[in-house]
Structure 1
């Protein structure tokens, strides 16, 4: 066997070591250098290592959007929560500086910002600039739900989320849109089949699991960690709103199928009723919102939303639900002040409370109050002439936002179970003859009011 030349081996080892050293220098220069905002030896107002990385990625991103006049604002729940604790101090402080990076160095893989769609249109320029400073980016888009209700067949997609990644940190940019109900909406983060699911840990992103709906925001500029950022003026309100922001769209495709089987009533009377019912619903929402009373679409109004994305023209009323714990004595005076006459008041706060108001031209507003038991909720009904009581049982439910007749309004998130409880499995079939005492499958006889209480529990006007 031929002997191995030691000098050749030594030369090869030296060459290999040199190449590896050159690769390390190249990697540091182009991927981990301060130019790309990845790892820094030390920065004033920040911590070492990975914490510094997060701060510098946020700084790079804010500089990027500022150079392109893109007004983003911070909606990251963790960072906003910390800022909210210090908000009064930050407002009074001249520079907002702290000895160490406090807000943008929290141990997390991403930081979340938001963007109002109408404030920005030039994404291609931003992407090019982002790549130049070291960001990788991903765009998530889907169909525009605002066009669904218009029988739009164009298949137009809109951007819903952007993700900008540098080193081990990512910026999640959520796109908000204005909807016709005068609120802000963001879509779900639904990945297309070809998307690289390892790009970032999508499952831990805090916006996008569901669509969300929010009140329009006022913004406040704060200076934290030597960075100027826009935040919601009332962070605590935004954080609370986020917990209950889940939004579900009306089922436009199913509504179109329904109308193919049961053509819509386009008569003058039907059109006029829907106009008046819409006006009454908007007035009711304005009144209850002014009192801070949470409500939802109930009974036939909820069925109309779920089944046909519209008010049922033969229903002749508007139905709302309110949990009894949200009852306020101001409700009746507030509706009377709004021009609605109290038609009847049945039951009492402790049992089967129900209010009915007279709207324009015989269009009624019925408000049913719901009581919670261990395994179900219920609302009551009273027959005025006999004093008989009835109870309507529903499975427990939570509330989601939706848009209905150009109004942001709550509906039960578990809508199908709610509808089936009230109307049975055949809820898709229109029924124009309805007896509230016997037709609902969830109705139960609940005794009779004592005669000596009738003056209090059966009030007709």
Structure 2
């Protein structure tokens, strides 16, 4: 029995550039014309609404690099190589878990401004919504060689995880919805003070960054300006996480009795092979 399409069923297409998972195709004959269509159309159709692709502005990046860097940036190139390894490892874990994450903070600025990892960065930054958190996240990261070193906040407030691989840190900031904004938190381990970083609402788009498919905020300019201000296109090497971002505001203080729970710092223990 051949399934017939009813008149109210529609075939949706993407009006712009799109990014899709690798898929199998099948040959279909319609009115003596052969077409190649996705073998699993439902899987394809579910990707369309989240498939918008943003190309990095390589012309702008080239201008920035020519102004601020020279050919002797050996330390920067070494950091970029190591940061790429941890970015790929972390992305692979989250993709396997089906957790939609995006490039955040300095790593988002890296993509938007330079189309590569900023050489004087200190870490790699991901963002994800708190409702997408999974209890499988930490065990899966550690199975992949990314060891948990910081766990700040709690699921209901200012949650943040940091992992280390080969002495390089991957921060995952969890975002909370508040009206027409999103925010992530920060905690000062010396004082217990909390901070809130507020971003205008954004959607997620796909892009290609250092050879891998990752998400970025579609409204990237407003996202970057929220975090780095109008001078985001200027090289800055001194940065204070509590005072430099224009979108940071105080957010109270953790009660002292909660410090052991909300500001956990773990030591990495290296086991010698026998």
Structure-1-length-normalised TM-score:
0.55
Query: CA separation in 1, counterparts of 2:110 and 2:72?
Result: 15
Q: Which of residues 335, 345, 349 in structure 1 aligns to 2:151?
A: 345
Q: State whether residues 97 and 224 of structure 1, in contact with CA within 8 Å, keep that contact through their aligned partners in structure 2.
A: no
- Indicate the residue corresponding to 2:247 in structure 1: 442
Query: CA separation in 2, counterparts of 1:282 and 1:413?
Result: 21
- Indicate the residue corresponding to 2:91 in structure 1: 285
SS in 2 for 1:453: helix
SS in 2 for 1:334: helix
Q: Which of residues 13, 30, 46 in structure 2 aligns to 1:206?
A: 13
Could you report, residue by residue, the CA deviation over 1:145-172 in whole angstroms, capped at 9, with x for unpaired residues? xxxxxxxxxxxxxxxxxxxxxxxxxxxx
Q: State whether residues 265 and 313 of structure 1, in contact with CA within 8 Å, keep that contact through their aligned partners in structure 2.
A: no
Alignment of 1:17-166 (within 5 A): 96-97=1-2, 102-103=4-5, 106=7
Query: CA separation in 2, counterparts of 1:225 and 1:430?
Result: 59
Q: State whether residues 97 and 226 of structure 1, in contact with CA within 8 Å, keep that contact through their aligned partners in structure 2.
A: no
The structure with more radius of gyration? 1
With over 3 angstroms needed to count, the CA separation of the structure-2 counterparts of 1:227 and 1:257, relative to structure 1, is closer
Query: CA separation in 2, counterparts of 1:293 and 1:265?
Result: 38
Query: CA separation in 1, counterparts of 2:34 and 2:65?
Result: 53
Q: Does 1:316 align with 2:122?
A: yes
Q: Which of residues 161, 164, 169 in structure 2 aligns to 1:358?
A: 164
Offset of residue 230 of structure 1: 4.4
Query: CA separation in 1, counterparts of 2:121 and 2:260?
Result: 29
Q: Give the number of equivalent residue pairs.
A: 266
Query: CA separation in 2, counterparts of 1:446 and 1:265?
Result: 43
- Indicate the residue corresponding to 2:131 in structure 1: 325
- Indicate the residue corresponding to 2:105 in structure 1: 299
Could you report, residue by residue, the CA deviation over 1:328-373 in whole angstroms, capped at 9, with x for unpaired residues? 111111110001111100001110000001121x311000000011
Query: CA separation in 1, counterparts of 2:2 and 2:182?
Result: 51
SS in 2 for 1:247: coil
- Indicate the residue corresponding to 1:232 in structure 2: 38
User: Unaligned 5+ residue runs, structure 1?
Assistant: 1-95, 113-204
Query: CA separation in 2, counterparts of 1:324 and 1:233?
Result: 34
Q: State whether residues 319 and 366 of structure 1, in contact with CA within 8 Å, keep that contact through their aligned partners in structure 2.
A: yes
Q: State whether residues 295 and 410 of structure 1, in contact with CA within 8 Å, keep that contact through their aligned partners in structure 2.
A: yes
Offset of residue 219 of structure 1: 2.5
Q: Which has the higher contact order (CA 8 A, sep 6+)?
A: 2
Offset of residue 268 of structure 1: 2.5
Query: CA separation in 2, counterparts of 1:372 and 1:290?
Result: 25
Q: Does 1:417 align with 2:222?
A: yes
With over 3 angstroms needed to count, the CA separation of the structure-2 counterparts of 1:354 and 1:97, relative to structure 1, is closer
Query: CA separation in 2, counterparts of 1:414 and 1:97?
Result: 44
- Indicate the residue corresponding to 1:392 in structure 2: 197
Offset of residue 222 of structure 1: 6.2
Query: CA separation in 1, counterparts of 2:109 and 2:127?
Result: 13
Alignment of 1:163-242 (within 5 A): 206-207=13-14, 209-220=15-26, 230-242=36-48
Q: Which has the higher helix share?
A: 1
Q: State whether residues 323 and 369 of structure 1, in contact with CA within 8 Å, keep that contact through their aligned partners in structure 2.
A: yes
SS in 2 for 1:381: strand
- Indicate the residue corresponding to 1:367 in structure 2: 172
Q: State whether residues 185 and 195 of structure 2, in contact with CA within 8 Å, keep that contact through their aligned partners in structure 1.
A: yes
